[in-house]
């Protein structure tokens, strides 16, 4: 079975190693991959978000299964395009991926479906965010608060601020200072800080 893994990080490296162990004799590709992955899979110099070119490659190489490692290709609609072409892909559609690619969308989804979540507000400008933070809705000047970039920010889009001053600095750095790239912080989500254990599920 020919397989393709999309991405270039540690997650994709682990996926490639697992696939190689379980499918001896199969061709395994990774796009774009990295030097470490090259020991396990054939790295293909294609951008993980170049959806059409990746689908062309999968058709040409008779890839029977594609596994998407990261969020950006899913947000770009990779699973939708592969499914449209009849290619087997492990990954949610662009619409479903919005739960990860837009924090504001995810919060609204949780509220609509009665999923417990921290109180929040969404701001589209530094001034709006500053007004929310100074309103007292999330406690005093010394209360912790969480500031999140709305979009994908490669792990740099969340700040747990210990004070309002730290929160305002985080908003400024995200929205104006280039802390996160591209359009990730056109909006920010401000939410109450909750104490407890954190768990990530994949």
The confidence score (pLDDT) of residue 178 equals 76
pLDDT at 19 over 80: yes
pLDDT reported for residue 154: 78
Query: Are residue 115 and residue 140 in the same domain, yes or no?
Result: yes
CA-CA distance, 121 to 108, in Å (whole number)? 10
Answer with the one of 47, 78, 98 that is the final residue of a domain: 98
- Print the domain residue range for 75: 3-98
Structure tokens at 64: 């029977």
Same domain (yes/no): 82, 107: no
Of 68, 98, 128, which residue constitutes the final position of a domain?
98
- pLDDT tens, 169-180? 999 999 997 777
Is residue 200 in some structural domain? no
Q: Are residues 107 and 183 in the same domain?
A: yes
Say how many domains are in the chain: 2
- Co-location of 58 and 121 in the same domain: no
Angle at 38 between CA 34 and CA 40, to 5 degrees: 125
pLDDT at 134 over 90: yes
Mark whether 116 and 66 lie in a shared domain: no
Confidence band (pLDDT; 50, 70, 90) for 198?
Answer: confident
**Distance, CA of 82 to CA of 79 (rounded, Å):** 5
pLDDT computed for residue 200 by the predictor: 72
Q: Are residue 122 and residue 75 in the same domain, yes or no?
A: no
Output the CA angle 44-49-51, nearest 5 degrees.
Answer: 85
CB 141: neighbour CB atoms within 10 A? Answer: 11
Query: Which CATH number belongs to the domain containing residue 51 in this structure?
Result: 3.40.50.20
- For 37-92, the pLDDT digits (tens) are 999 999 999 999 999 999 999 999 999 999 998 899 999 999 999 999 999 999 99
- pLDDT per position as a tens digit, 104-118: 999 999 999 999 999
pTM score, whole prediction: 0.82
Residues 94 and 109 in one domain: no
Q: What is the pLDDT of residue 1?
A: 85
Strands (DSSP E) found in the chain: 3-7, 28-32, 42-43, 65-68, 89-90, 120-123, 145-149, 158-161, 188-192
Q: Which one-letter DSSP state was computed for residue 91?
A: S
Specify whether 8 is located in the same domain as 89: yes
Residue 199 has a pLDDT of: 80
The last residue of one of the domains, among 41, 71, 98, is 98
- Tell me what percent of the residues of the chain surpass a pLDDT of 70: 98
Q: Are residues 149 and 185 in the same domain?
A: yes
Residue 176 burial (CB count, 10 A): 11
Spatial contact of 57 and 43, defined as CB atoms under 8 Å apart: no
């Amino acid at each position: 079975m020919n397989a393709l893994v999309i991405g270039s990080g540690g997650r994709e490296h682990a996926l490639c190693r697992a696939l190689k162990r379980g499918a001896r004799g199969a061709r395994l590709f990774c796009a774009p991959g990295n030097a470490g992955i090259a020991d396990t899979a054939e790295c293909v110099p294609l951008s993980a978000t170049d959806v059409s070119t990746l689908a062309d490659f999968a058709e040409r190489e008779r890839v029977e299964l594609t596994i998407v490692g990261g969020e950006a290709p899913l947000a770009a609609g990779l699973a939708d395009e592969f499914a449209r072409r009849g290619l087997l892909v492990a990954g949610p559609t662009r619409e479903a991926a919005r739960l990860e690619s837009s924090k504001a969308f995810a919060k609204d989804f949780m509220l609509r479906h009665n999923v417990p979540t921290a109180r929040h507000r969404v701001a589209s400008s530094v001034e709006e965010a500053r007004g929310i933070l100074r309103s007292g809705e999330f406690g005093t000047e010394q209360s912790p608060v969480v500031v999140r970039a709305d979009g994908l920010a490669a792990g740099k889009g969340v700040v747990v601020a210990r004070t309002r001053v730290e929160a305002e600095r985080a908003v400024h750095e995200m929205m104006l200072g280039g802390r996160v790239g591209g359009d990730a912080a056109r909006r920010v989500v401000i939410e109450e800080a909750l104490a407890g254990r954190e768990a990530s599920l994949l």
